[in-house]
Structure 1
Amino acid sequence: MSKQSFRDLKNEIELKNAEIDELSMELQDKTEQINKLKLYSTKLKYENKNLEDKLDTKIDYDKARMNELDDLSEKLKEKDLIIEDKQDQVKYLRSLIDDYKEQVRSNTENLEVQLRKISKTYEKLLEQKDMIIEKQDEQISNLIKSNEEIIKSNKTNVISLKLQNEKYQDIIDELTKTN
């Protein structure tokens, strides 16, 4: 080997060494970039894990809220059913009250009609009583008159009988004297 070739080789080795140094620097840069990217990746993984945990927590919270909302929805449905039942009861009671009011109104009307009938009947009975009293008064008056006439007639008869008795007494006396 000649000197020239040795130099060329040496130059070439230096060139190769320079290339190696350059490639080593590039490799070191790449390694640093890889390390930075690894750190960034780790940071992103950590943030991702935190976000996943937050998301899981949020999902669990949302599930719990959904369950609460479902429970509340069920309770609302139950309350709605209770309210509907109470409304039906109120409607039923109102219909009973309306029926009762109608019965009371009907009974009141019937009682008023009966009261009018009773009042008319009572008036007729009072009229009959008055008529009976008048007839009785008239009969009593007639009986008193009849009694007075009988008394007068009796007095007259008694007087007539006394007179006749006296007359007969006189006749008896005369006959007894003459005998």
Structure 2
Amino acid sequence: MSQESLDDLRYELELKNAEIDELNMDLQEKIEEINKLKLYSTKLKYEKKNLEDKLDTKIDYDKARIKELDDLSEKIKEKELIIEDKQDQVKYLRSLIDDYKEQLNKNTENLEVQLRKITKTYEDLLKQKDAIIQKQDEEISNLIKSKEEIIKSNKTNIISLKLQNEKYQEIIDKFTKTN
């Protein structure tokens, strides 16, 4: 193999390494964005808890809180769509990596060793990303379950309050009739 050919291969390897570094940076940005979504999901969970506490003290806020819970559900659906979009982007990045693997396999054995190292590192990052996405999906599922429990609890409280109002109305009616 000539020195010029070897230099060309080294230059091509440097270009591929730069492209892989760029993809790694893109993936890191996606992971950070997923972490932000996770934090936002936790924030929404605490907001929902605060709404439950308000339910115990103020009946007049029931309708407003149910509306807020519906909005929260919509936000969760939007976040799920964002996560699905991020998963599609990751799949695209994986397909790019596979293409680069095929191109690099045509080069020397030394280039193949370096490619394996790069691929191993990238697959570890993808596994970390998948674990983050799985945790996010579980948290979203838990939020949805929690929302449903709150709605059930709200309905039960409303029914209980209606029954109490009816009892109080009967007592008031009895007092007004006797007086």
Indicate the structure whose relative CO is greater, using CA pairs within 8 Å and at least 6 residues apart. 2
Q: Which has the larger radius of gyration?
A: 1
Q: TM-score, with normalisation over the residues of structure 2?
A: 0.39
Q: TM-score, with normalisation over the residues of structure 1?
A: 0.39
